[in-house]
């Protein structure tokens, strides 16, 4: 009998872990009950009850863009100039200039050679395969009734027992990169840095996470629009006033900052090539960029296969998304309210919820 009860308890525990909404329905999410619990002392019953009822954000990860992730092969060439050939072991017919360059391989069947988009060949020894990120954003079934965050720091670091304290194994909580967490309390350490409690006396510094926030709809905007927060490096998609989707992004680096302001998406392309600063140390050429949505002249939202550093600034001004997130937004934008020409209307609002050091990574 005892063994049967233990099995039942284990089953119910698994159900609660897989379906957190079943637990969350038990009460109201109210971080105010934990507001005073910020010194590492035993938590109040009300605070513990809320943490138990809301162990994780109530969100739903989107599906992977399996086709793009599996059908295309991305390779970095360089950074030194790279010769291109008319055939394997053939004649040199061109050169890819020095820079941050990526190509799309269309034929890998010849040993030691790669045929790239456009038909030319490069030596495999001159290229390195690039694995795209499989991170995805989430839909928001309840809108965005409360703020949550993604962990940005590398996995394996313990949370702290108090704001400003050192990582502690006594918290029994390791940070896991891209883990989604609720924020139950906010406090500042002795240096004025902000910390979040993401579990019972489990504290993490603000710079280790990216918080998702709801904002008011900009004047004159309706229908489908997205808000890009440069401080948090997050994006939230809205249908009028209702948050629908959220994810991490990577915006412009220092001296290549993504411009703040309200923009209208003026072109959508399933794929495009991008290049710039030819001959300069920051030169780049990307042969195939998927799911491109231009909004500020040549600046766009687009899929990204050359890094997995979402939540940190990485680009030359564009808003980098994972391939799956970009495909999701690309399809969603197509459903926007049509204009007089039948084209969907979509807006991108770029802002900063805090001061991010004029170009310094939040670290």
Per-domain boundaries in the chain: 20-55+148-211, 66-130, 215-351
Could you say which residues of the chain have pLDDT below 50?
1-26, 358-363
* 271 within 8 A of 361, measured Cβ to Cβ: no
- Which fold, 215-351? L,D-transpeptidase catalytic domain-like (2.40.440)
3-class secondary structure for the chain? CHHHHHHHHHHHHHHHHHCHHHHHCCCCCCHHHHCCCCCCCCCCHHHHHHHHHCCCCCCEECCCCHHHHHHCEEEEECCCCEEEECCCCCCEEEEECCCEEEEEEEECCCCCEEEECCCCEEEHHHEEEECCCCCCCEECCCCCCCCEEEECCCCCCECECCCCCCECHHHCCECCCCCEEECCEEEECCCCCEEEEEECCEEEEHHHEEEECCCCCCCCCCCEEEEEECCCCEEEEEECCEEEEEEECECECCCCCCCCEEEECCEEEEEEEEEECCCCCCCEEEEEEEEEEEEECCEEEEEECCCCCCCCCCECCCEEEEHHHHHHHHHHHCCCCECCCCCECEEEEEECCCCCCCCCCCC
CATH number of 66-130: 2.30.30.40
pLDDT of residue 206: 94
pLDDT of residue 281: 61
Q: What pTM was computed for the model?
A: 0.87
**How many CB atoms are closer than 10 A to CB 209?**
24
pLDDT of residue 11: 35
pLDDT of residue 336: 92
Residue with tokens 């061109």: 94
């Amino acid at each position: 009998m005892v063994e049967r009860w233990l099995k039942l308890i284990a089953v119910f525990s698994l159900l609660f872990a897989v379906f957190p909404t079943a637990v969350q329905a038990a009460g109201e999410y109210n971080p105010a009950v934990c507001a005073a619990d910020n010194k590492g002392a035993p938590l109040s019953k009300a605070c513990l009850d809320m943490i138990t009822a809301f162990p994780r954000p109530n969100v739903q990860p989107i599906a992977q863009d399996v086709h793009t992730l599996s059908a295309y092969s991305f390779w970095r060439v360089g950074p030194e100039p790279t010769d291109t050939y008319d055939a394997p072991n053939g004649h040199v017919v061109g050169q890819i200039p020095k820079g941050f360059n990526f190509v799309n391989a269309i034929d890998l069947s010849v040993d030691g050679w790669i045929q790239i988009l456009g038909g030319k060949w490069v030596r495999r020894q001159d290229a390195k395969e690039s694995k795209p990120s499989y991170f995805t954003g989430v839909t928001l079934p309840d809108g965005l009734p409360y703020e949550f965050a993604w962990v940005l720091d590398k996995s394996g670091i313990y949370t702290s027992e108090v704001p400003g304290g050192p990582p502690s194994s006594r918290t029994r909580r390791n940070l896991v990169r891209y883990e989604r967490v609720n924020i139950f309390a906010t406090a500042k350490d002795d240096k004025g840095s902000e910390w979040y409690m993401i579990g019972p006396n489990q504290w993490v510094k603000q710079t280790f996470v990216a918080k998702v926030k709801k904002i008011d709809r900009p004047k004159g905007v309706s229908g489908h629009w997205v808000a890009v927060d440069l401080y948090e490096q997050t994006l939230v998609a809205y249908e009028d006033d209702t948050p629908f989707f959220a994810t991490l992004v990577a915006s412009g680096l220092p001296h290549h900052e993504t411009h703040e302001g309200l923009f209208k998406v003026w072109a959508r392309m399933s794929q495009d090539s991008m290049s710039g600063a030819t001959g300069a140390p920051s030169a780049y050429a990307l042969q195939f960029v998927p799911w491109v949505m231009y909004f500020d002249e040549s600046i766009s939202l687009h899929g990204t296969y050359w890094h997995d550093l979402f939540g940190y600034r990485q680009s030359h001004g564009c808003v980098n998304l994972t391939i799956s997130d970009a495909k999701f937004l690309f399809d969603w934008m197509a459903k926007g309210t049509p204009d007089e020409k039948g084209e969907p209307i979509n807006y991108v609002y770029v802002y900063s919820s805090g001061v991010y050091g004029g170009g310094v990574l939040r670290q």
